Amino acid sequence: VEPLLDGDGPLGDLSVRLKLIYGLGVINRQEYEDAELLMALREELNHDGNEYAFTDDEILGPFGELHC
């Protein structure tokens, strides 16, 4: 199993793992959408070079879209 989850393995990408567990019915659509939103937010914030606090609008805004 470990080679599948390695960075260069077929399940090495978190997005692929998320799609797999959703496709297998382990998580429901709302949980899948929440995880996708959080991953997109993380990606966006990691690449703009700024530092953020949890109270910043850039963080709180997307949190309002979460289902959970």
Residue 21 · residue 39 · CB < 8 Å: no
Task: Give first-to-last CA distance, the chain, whole Å.
Answer: 30
pLDDT tens digits, the chain, 68 residues: what are they?
A: 888 888 888 988 899 999 999 999 999 999 999 999 999 988 888 888 888 888 888 788 888 889 98
- Domain segments of the chain as ranges: 2-63
Report whether CATH 1.20.120.330 matches the domain 2-63: yes
Residue 14 · residue 39 · CB < 8 Å: yes
